[in-house]
Amino acid sequence: MINILVKERYNENRKCLIYSNKEFKKILKYERKRTDREGGIFSVLMLYIKNDEVHLNNLMKKIPNYLRDIDLMGWLDDICLGILLPAYDQNVALDFCHEMLNNKDVKTNIFAYKVHTYPKDWNLFSQNSHLIDKELNIHNEFQKVFKKKILKNLDHHIISAVVVKVPLWKRVLDVTASGIGLLLLSPLIILISCYIKIFSPGPVFFIQKRVGYKGKIFNFYKFRTMHVSKSNDTVHNNYVSQLMSSDTPMVKLDKKNDPRIIKGGSFLRKSSIDELPQLINVFIGNMSLVGPRPCLPYEAEEYLQWHKNRFDILPGMTGLWQVSGKNDLTFKQMIRLDISYVENLSLLNDLIILFKTIPTVVGLMFDKALKKLKKNS
């Protein structure tokens, strides 16, 4: 396995550097940020190669002849060599690859290749990554082994290069805390379930599709606080779209004496008790205790590309936005806080946010109560 920073390799015209796995990941993350900021595009050509000194030297004598000065190479794993192609869409990247493969010395050292183009068909938001399985003159036993590995890790290399991997400590904390929470709060959960059944016919839980880690859709659980026949998604959708396109604070759409809300539902919402079933989401692994709040699919469709960086980590029951002002902040401020959380992920930050959450929720309840008293007085 050649997984160190390879020293400068020369051909007749230029030098070519292969970056280590660690360094190439940093390069890809930077390119993603640059592309988000400037609204551009880039592709990554993934070459599955025979990785030994002889074959690598053969490739390095030829590949640099096809590269521009801005194209960079690095390891994605022990058999996958990545080539970053700024400003290339998928078609141009494939043309570039086909041109290289016309060279016999290049072709015989590559088992297969794959192109990922950002943002058009990035794995976070699409399953349309382009895999081409090449018919090469190599031993069948090797073809079988490498083909199996390639297909098994179809999207692993690129996604692991630019998206934060959920740390083990975070998953241990989530499973432990949510398991204990479900156990200790089970009497309250049963009591609220019975209350909802008595005062409003229909299901106890409100189940909604939300966008989670890596852009995957999952079932999101809450206690139902609205009458089944009176919920109106259109009103909410229009309101959220308005917030996303403005710089106004993200105040909840909870009107006084809202006929859609069941008796006692307002208290469940203001106290965040309606969020307790999300402990189930945390326990099964599609949410975390701490992280960005999961948005609805139609919201994600309206996101700018840089907004989608908030999907680089598991969504949470609470997060940096909730303890930093929440309803007093704008949509853009929320997104920036979510991205800041992802970039500064640590156990200490998670614990600080968790300890701040209960005082924040209580403070919001008192603040709303005071505002109500002032209005009535």
pLDDT over 90 at 289, yes or no = yes
The 10s digit of each residue's pLDDT in 105-134 is: 777 777 778 888 888 755 444 443 444 444
Q: What is the DSSP string of 177-188?
A: HHHHHHHHTHHH
Among the ranges given (201-210, 234-243, 284-293, 306-315), the one the predictor scored with the smallest mean pLDDT: 234-243
The 10s digit of each residue's pLDDT in 335-348 is: 999 999 998 999 99
pLDDT over 60 at 369, yes or no = no
The 10s digit of each residue's pLDDT in 67-82 is: 888 999 998 887 788 8
Residue 328's pLDDT band (boundaries 50, 70, 90)? confident
Q: What is the predicted pLDDT for the residue at 123?
A: 45
From 26, 89, 93, 103, select the one nearest 58 (Cα to Cα): 103
- Phi then psi for 71, rounded to 5 degrees? -80, 135
Q: Are 138 and 49 in contact (CB under 8 A)?
A: no
Q: Are 2 and 20 in contact (CB under 8 A)?
A: no
Q: How far is CA 103 from CA 11, 97, 106, 109, in A?
A: 16, 10, 5, 11
Q: Are 84 and 34 in contact (CB under 8 A)?
A: no
Q: What is the predicted pLDDT for the residue at 261?
A: 87
Domains with residue ranges and CATH for the chain: 9-162 (3.30.70), 168-376 (no CATH)
Q: What is the predicted pLDDT for the residue at 233?
A: 63
Q: Rounded CA gap, 109 and 93, in Å?
A: 19
291's CB contacts (< 8 A; 6+ apart) are: 313, 314, 315, 316, 319, 341
pLDDT over 90 at 51, yes or no = no
The 10s digit of each residue's pLDDT in 80-109 is: 888 999 999 888 998 998 888 888 777 777
Percent of the chain with pLDDT over 70: 72
Written as one letter, the residue type at 248 is T
Q: What is the predicted pLDDT for the residue at 232?
A: 57
The pLDDT of 4-20, averaged and rounded, is: 52
Q: What is the predicted pLDDT for the residue at 201?
A: 87
CB atoms within 10 A of CB 302: 12
Token pair recorded at residue 25: 């990941």
Q: What mean pLDDT is reported for the chain?
A: 79
Token pair recorded at residue 124: 């976070």
The pLDDT of 346-360, averaged and rounded, is: 92
Report angle CA 325, 310, 82 to the nearest 5 degrees.
155
